[in-house]
Amino acid sequence: YVDADALSLLPSGEAYLAAVNHDVPCETGTERKMSVTLCGTPEAIDKWLASDACATELKPCHPWHHPAYATVPEYTSWGKDAPELIHAPSDARCTLISSVTGEPAACLEGASHWQAWLTKPVHFDAALESLAAQPGHLYVIQMGPHPTLNAAIESLALKLESKGAHPLLAHCASMHRGEPAAAYVRAQRALLRAALPEYDAFLRTAVLTQAELELPTADGVKKVDAGLAWSDQGIKSAQMPLLARRLAPFFPGIAPHDFYRYGSLDALVRGWDAGSNGIDVAGAAGAGKGATASLDIVGWA
């Protein structure tokens, strides 16, 4: 447990702040405390534990890509029921890059892949280098929640640029554990919007090409026109629950009544995560720069 004002003083070297877990109840008039998680090398963690009587070493409770899992009975057969080959679709929009090898992969080899994923470190730097070498305009990696990759992303971006690779366009991360999912996703998008002038067009294209936008109306089944008002294309309150369900993957937390606030799909794209829904975007941006982050988004052009 640490004082809330002391978070910035926590180590950033071999042992560093990985996540802010929750506030700790305290008596009136005492410093506000927070429960935090540190990560680092075994030596750095042992040194920290020896000097801090309040610190406790966490026991592994989920797959952390560590060799120790190879000897844990309940994990030795983990993934055995996975399909032997998981093929990427031939027309896939995304390149599958294995976290086990760091290389593009046409398929995953069932149980052997997942055993390696469970018991070996993730080759994050190799995966990003493979990604940066791919042709194309814009790449986005969205991983989450994962609290420990900020420093890796920043150092790797400099390394790739020094090799002449495409420059890093945007990187943002923000979430305290326990923060509602819709809130932090929308805060992430607000940060991307500030960093990428073409973000609205990028999101609009994703919605138009990936969402199921054919809706039954009084005049038959029609596809949503992004620029037209809902009412001008025959979309009434009866269709709004269905529309909300179909747009939910792109606009987290959306509800039917939100279509009265945003009169068209274009208005929804521009305004949904732009700070007008009670999300403290400035506060989220501050969190995104710190080690409380647990969702990272990376893009290259």
pLDDT tens digit string along 262-283?
889 998 988 887 653 333 322 2
- Over range 21-40, report the average pLDDT: 70
Domain limits of the chain?
2-51, 62-122, 135-301
Q: What average pLDDT does the chain have?
A: 70
For the chain, how far is it from start to end, CA to CA, in angstroms? 41
Look at residue 291 and tell me whether its pLDDT is greater than 70: no
The whole-angstrom separation of Cα 34 and Cα 123 is: 32
What torsion do the CA atoms of 158, 163, 169, 174 make, to the nearest 10 degrees?
A: -40
- Report phi then psi at 292, rounded to 5: -80, 0
Q: What is the pTM of this model?
A: 0.41
Q: What is the pLDDT of residue 4?
A: 64
What is the mean pLDDT of the segment spanning 15-27? 67
Q: Which range among 48-62, 258-272, 285-299 shows the weakest confidence by mean pLDDT? A: 285-299
Average pLDDT (19-30) is 65
CB contact at 8 A, 207 and 269? yes
Mean pLDDT of 173-177: 49
Q: Is the pLDDT of residue 46 over 70?
A: yes
- Judge contact between 174 and 191, C-beta under 8 A: yes
Query: Which residues lie below 8 Å from residue 265, measured CB to CB, with a gap of 6+?
Result: 204, 207, 224, 225, 226, 227
Q: Residue 104 has what DSSP assignment?
A: B
Is the per-residue pLDDT at 153 higher than 70?
A: no
More confident residue, 245 or 189: 245
Report how far residue 211's alpha carbon sits from residue 160's, in angstroms, rounded to the nearest whole number.
Answer: 34
pLDDT at 169: 53
Mean pLDDT of 4-10: 66
> 268 phi and psi, to 5 degrees?
-65, -45
- For residue 40, the surrounding DSSP H or E stretch is strand 33-40
pLDDT of residue 57 exceeding 60: yes
> Is the distance from CB of 14 to CB of 47 less than 8 angstroms?
no
